[in-house]
Amino acid sequence: MTGRPTLAVVGATGAVGTVLLRILSQRADIWGDIRLIASPRSAGRKLAVRGEEVEVAALAEEAFDGVDIALFDVPDEVAARWAPVAAAKGAVVVDNSGAFRADPDVPLVVPEVNPHAARRRPRGIISSPNCTTLTMIVALGALHAEFGLRELVVSSYQAVSGAGRAGVETLRRQLSLVAGTELGTSPGDVRRAVGDDTGPFPEPVALNVVPWAGSLCDDGWSSEEMKVRDESRKILGLPQLPVAVTCVRVPVVTTHSLTVHARFEGEVTVGKAREIMATAPGVVLCDDPAAGEFPTPADVVGTDPTWVGRVRRALDDPTALELFVCGDNLRKGAALNTAQIAELVAAEAD
C-alpha cells in the first residue's frame, strides 16, 4: 500500500462497530478513505466518523475494491464467507469473529503481547481474540515474559453486552420487572417474575449470576471456556499450557472481570509483579485494598486498558500469583484491539 491506506469497517452499524467508529475518531488519524459496510438492510444509513457523515454501503464484493485493510465485526458465518473475499481483493482482513481464530494459517494477535505474529498471514487474515481472553491477556503476557507461565486457572464474570444488544436489552427488561420488589429472597421468585424472557441466557441474569456463557462443548465445557484456553495457548505460544476456566454471566452491562490464578516456572514476588504491571503498556495497576482501591466494572467501563488489582501471592504456592482484572469488553475486548492490529499492518509500509 502507498500513501494513507484505505480502511473498510464491516459491521459498522453493530454494537462493536459503533464503538470502533468512536475509537477511529479518537486515535491518530493515519487513514485515507474510511468506508462503512454493513448488511443490505443497513445500507444508506449515515454514520459519523472523524467528524464527518459517511454513508453505509451494502456488503458486496465490489465494496472491497481499492481497500487496503478491512476490519470485520460480524457473526462467524458472515466472516467465514466474506473475509476471504476481501482478502482475495487485496485487503488485509482483521477479523473480530471466531471464524478463523483456530486456523494455524491465521495469526491471533494482541499488539501488546505478540505483534510480530501479525506479519505472517498466509491467508491475508489476522484474527483478534475473544473479549474474555483479551480482558486478561495483556497483563498475563507481561507476567509471562518475566516469569514464564506454567498453569492458568481463571473464572470470568462477563457483562451482558458480550451477548450483543440482545443481552443488554434482556438485562434492562428484567431489571424493570424486579425493581423495587422483594424478589431474590426465596427460591424461584426472580424466575417467576421474568417468566420465559431470558433472552440469550439460560437463566435470568437480573439479581443473579449464571455459570454459563456460550454453547455446549464436550465433557460439559462451554465454548467461551474453550476459547479462553485455546486462545491463551496460541497467543502466548504455549500449546500445552494447562488451563482451567469457568465462565459466569453477571448483571453488568459492559466490562468483563476475571479472577486469575497464574502459576509460573519459579518463585515470584508481589513486588516484582506489581513493578511489571505498573509499567506494562495497556495495563493500569489499581491495587490498594486498605484504601478500597481495586478495579470494578463501574470504574473501568469506557476505558481502554486492562485494570489489575488484588495482586497477591498464592497462599500455599510461592510460584503462583492471584489477580483480579477488569476490561471493557467492547473497547480493548473487541474494537480497540482490531484498530491496533490495523495500525500495525499500516505501519509495515513505513
Residue 76 phi, psi (nearest 5): -55, -45
Consult the annotation and say whether 158 binds a ligand: yes
Consult the annotation and say whether 22 binds a ligand: no
Consult the annotation and say whether 26 binds a ligand: no
Catalytic one of 144, 256, 286, 326 = 256
Instruction: Judge whether 131 counts as a catalytic residue.
Output: yes
At which residue does the C-alpha cell 478500597 appear? 292
Consult the annotation and say whether 13 binds a ligand: yes
Instruction: Judge whether 326 counts as a catalytic residue.
Output: no
Consult the annotation and say whether 291 binds a ligand: no
Consult the annotation and say whether 170 binds a ligand: no
Pairing of strands 149-158, 256-264: antiparallel
- Judged by phi (left if over 0) then psi (alpha if -120 to 50, else beta), residue 71 lies in beta
Catalytic one of 131, 247, 286, 326 = 131
Consult the annotation and say whether 42 binds a ligand: yes
User: From the CA atom positions of the chain, what is the Rg in Å?
Assistant: 21
- Give the integer Cα–Cα distance in Å for 317 and 57: 56
Q: Output the known binding site for NADP(+).
A: 13-16, 41-42, 161-162, 329
Q: Output the known binding site for substrate.
A: 158, 249
Q: Output the known binding site for phosphate.
A: 101
Q: Output the known binding site.
A: 13-16, 41-42, 101, 158, 161-162, 249, 329
Residues taking part in catalysis? 131, 256
